[in-house]
Amino acid sequence: MADDLDDKALVPFDEFGNLLRQSWVPEGEIVWRSPEPFTARLQLAQFARGRAAGYVMWLDDQTRMFPMSMTEFVQTVCTVGVEPGGYAEAEWIAHRRGGAYGIQLYMSRRERRQVRRGNG
Per the CB < 8 A criterion, the answer to whether 67 and 103 are in contact is yes
Q: What is the mean pLDDT of the chain?
A: 90
Cα–Cα distance measured from residue 51 to residue 8, given in angstroms and rounded to the nearest whole number = 25
pTM of the model: 0.86
The dihedral of CA 83, 72, 100, 1: what is its sign?
A: positive
Per the CB < 8 A criterion, the answer to whether 68 and 58 are in contact is yes
| 70-79 and 109-116 helices, crossing angle to 10° | 40
Question: How high is the pLDDT of residue 25?
Answer: 84
Task: Return per-residue pLDDT of the chain as tens, 120 residues.
Answer: 344 444 458 999 999 999 999 988 888 899 999 999 999 999 999 999 977 889 999 999 999 999 999 999 999 999 999 999 999 999 999 999 888 999 999 998 888 888 888 765
Question: How high is the pLDDT of residue 99?
Answer: 87
